[in-house]
Amino acid sequence: MKNKKPLLASLLFLAVYYGVPMLIKRTFNHNVLREGDSAAPEVALTFDDGPDPETTPRVLDILRERGVKATFFMLGQQMEKHPELARRVLEEGHEIAIHGYRHINHMLLLPWQVKQDLTRAVKAYEKVLGQKPEYFRPPHGVFTWGTIWAEKHLGLKPVHWTIAAGEWVDSVSSEEVRERILTELDLGAVVLLHDARFGANKVIEMLPQLLQDFKTYGYQCKPFSQLQGLRTGTIKSTWERLLAWYDRQYDRSNNIDPLTRPAHGLYRIGLAPFPGESVMLSNGEIVENHSMQGELHLHNRRMVKVARHNKFSALKMVRRSMQDLAREIENNPKYRDIQVFFGLSLMDKIGEELGFQYAEMPQSKGNPFLYFGFNLIRFVYTGQWKNNTARLIYIDRDTLLERYGKKQKKREQQTV
C-alpha cells in the first residue's frame, strides 16, 4: 500500500494540472470565445499554423476570387520568416490572430515556458504588423494552467472552434473534410482549418466547393470577430452541444435524412412505426398502429436560437422547412408509400397552423423516460421545466404536398 501512495498522488497531480484546465476551457469553454449567438446565417472560417509560402498564397487566392474574408491564427515564428506574406493577409482584409510562437503542445511546456512562448509570439506580431493582437488559439486547442496564466498576463482573448473537420488525418479525404463541415454547419459556426502544415493541401482542394456550398445553403462568411453575438461558452451551451452531438449520432445510427444543410433547414426525417392509435385520413385511408411511417425530428438548437431573437423569423423558417420536406418526399423513393409524417411535440396547437393534427399517445406509449427526455431538452434550450406530456402530431402526405409541394409553389407563382 505504501508504494501505491506516491503513484496515486502523481496521478491526482496530473489530473488537476492537465485535466482541470482542459475541462474548464476546452469542454465548458469558460471565458473562451467559441461561436456567434444570433439568428444570422453566418460562419467564420479560421486557418491555423501559417503563414506558409507554399500553401497560404493559394488559400488567399481562393478567398479573394470569391470575395470571402477569414481569420488566420499565425505562428510568430512563421510571421518572422515570412513577414511580407503575413502583411498580405492583413492587406487583403483578413483578420490575424496568434497561435503561439512555436507549434508545440502546451502540455509539454512548463507554465513559464508557455508564457515565454506567447510573449515572443506577441512581439513578433507587433513587429511584423505594427499593431497589438487581440485573439489567441493555442496549438491543438490545448489549455493548461500555464496557458491561462499567460493569456491573462498578455491580455489575449482565447478562442476555440465549433467544427473541426480533421483534415490533418492522413486517412481523411478532402471530400470527407467538406462533408464533415456541412454536416455540422450551423448559425454562428467557427470552422477550424489549416493553411499550412498537415492537411493544407486537402483544404486547398476542397475550399472552392465549400465556399460555393456556403453560398448555396444561405451562409455568409465573416472574420471571427465580426460574428454577431460572439460569446464565451457556458454550462448551458455545453449541454446544447452535447444534445447536438447526440442528434448527429442518432441520425447516423438510424438512417435519418437531415434536411438541415440550408441555413433555414429545421427537419430531420426517417422511418419508424406509427406510435398512435389507428387513425382515418380524409381520403378514407387507415393508418394502422405500428405501421411504418415517416418520423420527423427538429433541429432544436437552431429553432430555439432563431425563435429567441425573432419569433416571426422562426415561423417563416418553419414554413420554408416544410417546403424542403415536401421536396424530399416528392423526390426520395424511400418515402413514396408513406401515408403520414409524425413527430412528438410539447408545443400546444402551434402545428395546426402548419396543417398538422394532434392525437393522444396510447397509455402503453406513455413512457415516463421519454417524457422526461423531452422536458429535459426544453429545459436545456429554454430554461423552462413544466413537466408536460409530449403529444403526437401528424400530417398526411396529401395535405403536406398540397400545402407545401410543387402544386402550391406553382399557385404562388401564378398569384404573383
User: Could you report the per-residue pLDDT of 206-225, keeping only the tens digit for each?
Assistant: 999 999 999 999 999 999 99
* pLDDT one-digit tens code per residue, 303-337: 888 888 888 888 889 999 999 999 999 999 999 99
Residue 389 has pLDDT above 80, yes or no: no
Q: Where are the beta strands (DSSP E) in 186-262?
A: 189-194, 220-221, 230-232, 257-258
Joined grid coordinates for residue 282: 380524409
Q: Where are the beta strands (DSSP E) in 129-247?
A: 135-136, 157-158, 163-164, 189-194, 220-221, 230-232
Alpha helices for 42-173 (secondary structure H): 56-65, 76-81, 83-91, 111-129, 145-154
Alpha helices for 20-97 (secondary structure H): 20-21, 56-65, 76-81, 83-91
Q: Which DSSP helix (H) or strand (E) runs through 411?
A: helix 406-415
Mean pLDDT of 112-134: 97
Residue 2 has pLDDT above 60, yes or no: no
The single-letter DSSP state of residue 47 is E
Query: Which among 52, 34, 46 has a CA at the least distance from the CA of 198?
Result: 52
- Give the side-chain half-sphere CA count within 13 A for 350: 10
Looking up cell 481523411, which residue turns up? 172
Cβ distance 151 to 136 under 8 Å? yes
What sign has the CA pseudo-torsion 183, 167, 41, 61?
negative
Cβ distance 46 to 162 under 8 Å? no
Q: At what angle do helices 111-129 and 145-154 cross, to 10 degrees?
A: 40
Give the Cα separation of 149 and 130 in Å (integer).
Answer: 25
Cβ distance 127 to 98 under 8 Å? no
- Residue ranges per structural domain of the chain: 11-233, 236-415
11-233 fold: TIM Barrel (3.20.20)
In this structure, are strands 340-345 and 292-298 parallel, antiparallel, or unpaired? parallel
**pLDDT, position 412:** 47
Give the Cα separation of 327 and 322 in Å (integer).
Answer: 9
Give the Cα separation of 235 and 130 in Å (integer).
Answer: 38
Residue 343 has pLDDT above 60, yes or no: yes
Enumerate the active-site residues: 48, 194
Helix (H, G, I), strand (E, B) or coil at 215: helix
For the ranges 94-108, 256-270, 311-325, 379-393, which has the lowest average pLDDT? 379-393
Contacts of 400 (CB under 8 A, 6+ apart): 322, 325, 326, 329, 341, 355
Q: At what angle do helices 368-382 and 300-309 cross, to 10 degrees?
A: 40
Report the percent of the chain where pLDDT is more than 90: 67
> Distances in Å between the alpha carbon of 356 and those of 154, 343, 359?
56, 10, 10
Give the Cα separation of 405 and 55 in Å (integer).
Answer: 46
Q: Which DSSP helix (H) or strand (E) runs through 268?
A: strand 267-273
The single-letter DSSP state of residue 54 is T
**pLDDT, position 314:** 85
For the ranges 7-16, 124-133, 278-287, 302-311, which has the lowest average pLDDT? 7-16
222 alpha-carbon distance from chain centroid: 16
**pLDDT, position 210:** 98
**pLDDT, position 364:** 47
Please state whether the predicted TM-score (pTM) of the whole model is above 0.95: no
Give the Cα separation of 375 and 301 in Å (integer).
Answer: 14
**pLDDT, position 345:** 77
